[in-house]
Amino acid sequence: MERGIMQRLTTAADLTDETLPGVPLIEIAGDSRVLIEHHFGVTEYGRCQICVRVKYGVVIINGNRLELARMTKQILVVTGCIESVRLERRR
């Protein structure tokens, strides 16, 4: 319900979701870097796959030589050879 209200407000005000507090923002820079803002931690960590919990589910990053380059309470940066980034929504 709250998500519907916030969506209508941002649409009416011509704002994007990234301006709302707590909404995950995922930025992909080329094929070597992924930045995730507003995460809830890493749930799986490996050289070929890193899974990160966000508000709506899990972001799954696949590739080679993946590593967690930076992690703070607000942001998380994964580097390596990125092959795919996928959101699996919670049901």
What pLDDT, in 10s, does the model give residues 28-38? 999 999 999 99
Q: Is 68 exposed, middle or buried (0-12, 13-18, 19+ CB in 10 A)?
A: middle
Q: What does the pLDDT look like over 69-91, one tens digit per residue?
A: 999 999 999 999 999 999 999 87
| Entry pTM | 0.78
pLDDT in tens, 9-55: 556 555 555 556 778 899 999 999 999 999 999 999 999 999 999 99
